[in-house]
Structures are given as C-alpha cells and as structure tokens.
C-alpha cells in the first residue's frame, strides 16, 4: 500500500499560496503578504488586531489620555482666543476704539462691538435704548467672555500664560480633563464677576481660566509630591496685580482661582477604582452650583 505524498501548507487567508511560515500565536500558515513582524517571529493580521484590542491605552496619573502631551487643546484654545481678537477688531468698523485713543482695535484696552456683545454684563441700557445682560436672558455671556479681550496687550498676556501653563497641565490631566478645567474655571470666574460686580459693568478675558490653571498647577504638583516653591511666587505676583492694577476684575480672578482649585482637587484625589465617575460627578456638581448662584443673582436683579 503506497503512502500519499505530504501536502505543502498553504496560507489560511490565501489558499493558493504555499508557505512554511506560521503565526507564532495561532500557529496558522501565513504567506509573506500576511506576515506581521512581532517581537518573536511573525503573526497573522487577526492576531495582531486582537493584540491591539487587548492592550489598554496609556493614561496619565489622573486618568486622562496620553495624547495631552501634544498640547492640541492648548493650541486650539490659543487659536480661538486670537480668532476672537481678530473678529473683535473687525467688528469695530466705525473706528471708535482707534480714534478714541485706546489704540487700534482696543490695543490699550478699549472695547469693541464684539466685546460689548459677549462680555459679562448683569443688566444695562445700551446707547441705542435696548436693554441687555445676563439678567435679560443673555446667558451666553458667561461663556463667551472667557474668549474675549480688551485689546491686544490683554490678549498677549493671557495667551502667554495659557501657553506656559496649558501644555504642562494638558499633559498631566489629559486633553478632556484639561479642557473641562479651562472651561469650568472660566465659568466660575465669570459667575463671580456676575455676582459681585456692578450690574452695568462689562468684564471679559481668559484670565478667569488662567487663574484656575494656576490653582490647578499647585494642586497637581502637590499631588505628585513635587516642589511648588517656584509656582507660588508667580501666583502671588499675579494676585498683587489683581488687587493693585485698575480695571482688573478682582471677583473674576478670584472666582476662577477658587473654582479651578476645586475641580483640580476632584481630578487629583478621586479614588482610583471609580476615578472617572467621581471626576465627572464632581465636575457636574461644581457646574450646577455655579448655575444656581447665577440664577440667584438674576432673581435678585430682576426682583430689585
């Protein structure tokens, strides 16, 4: 009785191709087109895909994505602030900011139609006789104000601080948590300005968010066991400027500082086992509290 000749293995994905190479994970024959180089030997495409699904993505110490090291959110926020400054200058078609001595487009701190539209304002009667402000339903001002600036110098100071602080915090917290920190701190500063400023006083600037970033940097560094002796003097200097330089919103800066610190504490000290849930819930509670305070202020203005 004659024996049948041994058959040559063929690629499991390409039956017409003979091969003697096998996947080191599943041991199936694979042709050169299906070989994926591995640490030992070769693997088939399916085993490579399965391996990628089983590998957990890199996370920061606070649960954020490692993509934050690229600083994409920081760069996007800077670009948005610059864009809003350009739109602010473009909105000043009548040239009032330049002719009035404040500098082109409010270079030295003048207002423009766009800043009048988007700054924090409780309640006021405009020159054309219309009434506006947060108490009149313009709630968007609590958000838009953190992206508007009174002049190019104001913008440059804010974007420089955002560039320095933002890249580090974004890498430490991850993109989503850093963005939440920026927005919630800015909201906190704007709500504080709404609560404690005159009803007809306009307030704007990214400094509400920037002070929140300063506070978060202190919290993050302490949590990581790092020295904060170089951070505190810079924060103190900024606080001195806040209380001594005219036209700076003290409530806005302090509000951003406090809210930024609170949210950073939630991010940094959430229990590891339920970190994302606690961080989300803590952030939601802070935002809800800020909205509640704004509602109370609105009721006081309308009722008064």
Least reliable range by pLDDT among 61-65, 86-90, 181-185, 222-226? 61-65
Residue 209: strand, helix, or coil: helix
CA distance 284 to 33: 51
pLDDT, one tens digit per residue, over 102-122 is: 444 444 567 888 988 999 999
Predicted confidence at residue 135, as pLDDT, reads 92
pLDDT digits 0-9 by tens, 51-94: 777 656 667 777 777 777 888 999 999 999 999 988 988 887 65
Span 147-169, pLDDT tens digits: 998 878 888 889 999 999 999 89
Q: Is the model's pLDDT at 96 over the cut of 50? A: no
pLDDT confidence of residue 57 = 60
pLDDT tens sequence across 35-54: 888 877 888 888 888 877 76
pLDDT of amino acid 304: 66
Q: Is a pLDDT exceeding 80 seen at residue 130?
A: no
- In the chain, domain spans: 1-55, 68-303
Rounded CA-CA distance 218/195 in Å is 26
What burial class does residue 177 get, using C-beta atoms within 10 Å of its C-beta: 0-12 exposed, 13-18 middle, 19+ buried?
buried
Give the residue-averaged pLDDT of 203-215.
94
Tens of pLDDT, residues 269-302: 989 888 889 999 999 999 999 999 999 999 998 8
Predicted local confidence at residue 107, as pLDDT: 47
**Residue for token digits 């838009």?**
144
Please identify, in words, the CATH class of the domain defined by 68-303.
mainly alpha
CA distance 269 to 263: 10
Task: Quote the pLDDT of residue 182.
Answer: 97
Give SS3 for 131.
strand
- The reported pLDDT for the residue numbered 142 is 97
Query: Rounded to an integer, what distance in angstroms lies between the CA atom of residue 168 and that of residue 214?
Result: 11
Residues carrying an active site annotation: 207, 253
CA distance linking residue 282 with residue 275, whole number of Å: 10
H-state helical runs in 127-249? 141-144, 152-173, 175-196, 207-223, 231-244
Give the span between the Cα atoms of 166 and 217, in whole angstroms.
Answer: 10
Residue 9 pLDDT? 86
Q: What is the pLDDT of residues 12-37, one digit of tens each?
A: 889 888 888 888 888 888 898 888 88
- Is the predicted pLDDT of residue 8 greater than 70, yes or no? yes
Residue 98 pLDDT? 37
């Amino acid at each position: 009785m004659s024996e049948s000749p041994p058959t040559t293995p063929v690629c499991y994905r390409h039956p017409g191709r003979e091969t003697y190479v096998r996947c080191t994970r599943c041991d199936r024959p694979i042709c050169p087109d299906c070989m994926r180089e591995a640490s030992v030997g070769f693997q088939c495409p399916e085993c490579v895909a399965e391996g990628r699904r089983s590998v957990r993505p890199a996370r920061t110490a606070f649960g954020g994505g490692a993509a934050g090291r690229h600083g994409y959110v920081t760069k996007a926020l800077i670009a948005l602030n610059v864009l809003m400054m350009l739109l602010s200058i473009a909105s000043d078609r009548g040239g009032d900011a330049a002719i009035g001595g404040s500098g082109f487009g409010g270079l030295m701190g003048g207002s423009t139609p766009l800043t009048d539209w988007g700054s924090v304002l409780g309640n006021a009667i405009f020159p054309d006789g219309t009434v506006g402000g947060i108490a009149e339903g313009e709630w968007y001002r609590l958000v838009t104000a953190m992206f508007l600036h009174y002049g190019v110098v104001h913008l440059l100071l804010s974007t420089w601080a955002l560039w320095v602080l933002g890249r580090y915090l974004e890498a430490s917290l991850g993109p989503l948590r850093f963005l939440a920190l920026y927005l919630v701190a800015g909201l906190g500063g704007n709500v504080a300005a709404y609560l404690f400023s005159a009803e007809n006083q306009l307030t704007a600037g990214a400094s509400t968010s920037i002070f929140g970033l300063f506070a978060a940097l202190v919290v993050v560094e302490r949590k990581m066991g790092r020295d904060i002796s170089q951070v505190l003097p810079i924060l103190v200097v900024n606080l001195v400027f806040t209380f001594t330089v005219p036209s700076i919103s003290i409530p806005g800066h302090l509000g951003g500082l406090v809210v930024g610190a609170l949210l950073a504490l939630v991010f940094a000290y959430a229990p590891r086992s339920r970190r994302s849930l606690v961080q989300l819930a803590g952030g939601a509670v802070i935002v809800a509290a800020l909205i509640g305070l704004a509602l109370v202020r609105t009721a006081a203005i309308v009722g008064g």
